[in-house]
Structure 1
């Protein structure tokens, strides 16, 4: 069965698409449409492109209410919901403000304004997950099996690989120094998404993850991998759980099981120089 690989740069990352099917021309058309969807989402959510909706919001919403696109309005309401659910650990306004305090929305006319002059929205990781999900929706609408990846940190599997085999992903050791690409686990990713975040990037001595309460970078070395139904949820939680810290994160994950499907979470730390992975989901289908 033919397998097609396509990629495009977006959101300071590389989005990769692996498609499996019987018709190479059809796969190519589906890949082009899916990757164009990634570009469309980038043009909507970018804070760097002056023409993007988010950039316009950041420029004008401190002055007065800004009427926004229907899709962006829904994204912002989703961000507010995630911030509430995580107790503020997820906050795309940090460090310029707090989303629960500084983002004011008027549902009746889809207007948004900031309550603080310096507040800004940065949808970084959320935006990457959202782009993966929108691209996956495009692929799924054609009934094509696919794996979508963003760099080495995120993935979403749809259907099965060539020959009906499940998609298998490897979890990179976040403590391995570059250019090493050591892995700490391998598992099946069927119709679910994965995101892995680390307090410190490879070779970095300062974290780009901030505590929304203090505005300071996280300091304790750790990483968190999340498997969830959507890439957006996995991206949100892989960073929010790190902000919470190990104990509060575990309490949060155990508390989600009653109301909705609990994500599968791996907490990754180094103990005496050895990388230790603790999955909070014993039913994960691992590949050895």
Structure 2
């Protein structure tokens, strides 16, 4: 950890942690974000997702022993993909992902206050992530020499344990807030079209398979009933169709159509002749 001096006017900080969190029964995200707000007047720290502020250095102020508390914080969860561009810092990407999807996760934290032994010794307050496999670095630490508030130091772990949004994050979040509704609409439309085309492709494939199965069944039945090979069966069907075309009923039907057509042509010729005779007279 790299301690950094903080002035008395320090009020708020935001840190992102790249540690997988579960957002529901089936999905997890790559990391989460915590917001801290420190009130130096009463030595309280507000952590996003916790209902009550935390009293730091309680042992120094109240004289009680240091202790260890376990709490669960509701945090903003996110991934580094989605609408994020490849060169976005991971901390920016996590928060921008959350701006679109608005997903939360419950994260177990450990609040640790070491026992105060002497007035001139360091007082310390730590917040740890209470998950298996995570490194022992505290997410946030406060240190103070005795009761001297001017000596308060704040330290946070370096990457990849913790990181703050970049200076360009406010610009990026404004852009994503404007574009997010349109991107979601486009994604929904694209998903609908993809589902529709996928359903159509499945229907066509099923129809082709059904046609092949029917063809095989018909061919097999014909071969079994007529003891013919497939080509012979096809020739037999062709011959039957030709007989149907040459049958007397088909000839009458074609003749009737031909007679009606001839009658219509004769009627048209008669009308033309009458018209020409009238013109000559």
TM-score of the pair, normalised by structure 1:
0.19
Of the two, which has the highest radius of gyration? 2
